[in-house]
Amino acid sequence: MKLNISFPATGCQKLIEVDDERKLRTFYEKRMATEVAADALGEEWKQGVLTNGRVHLLLSKGH
């Protein structure tokens, strides 16, 4: 399944292809343009901070 992930405020778009059935369960029975937590897609989707300025992240010792 191909997923088009977009952020309309900045006009950014990313097209990804997901083949794992477990990762796609999050998107079943959802409508178009529904906001969905992307944590189920994997580690690379659990991170990130969107801001215009600099930030200081408070992480535990293992990170």
Query: What pLDDT tens digit does each residue of the chain (63 aa) get?
Result: 888 888 888 888 888 888 888 888 888 888 888 888 877 777 777 766 667 787 777 878 876
CA distances from 52 to 10, 33, 42, 49, 59 (A): 12, 25, 26, 10, 20
Q: What phi and psi values does residue 62 have, to the nearest 5 degrees?
A: -75, -10
- Name the residue ranges covered by the structural domains of the chain: 1-63
Contacts of 31 (CB under 8 A, 6+ apart): none
Report pLDDT for 49: 62
Block residue for tokens 């059935």: 21
pTM beyond 0.85: the answer is no
pLDDT at 2: 87
Q: In the prediction, which pLDDT does 18 show?
A: 85
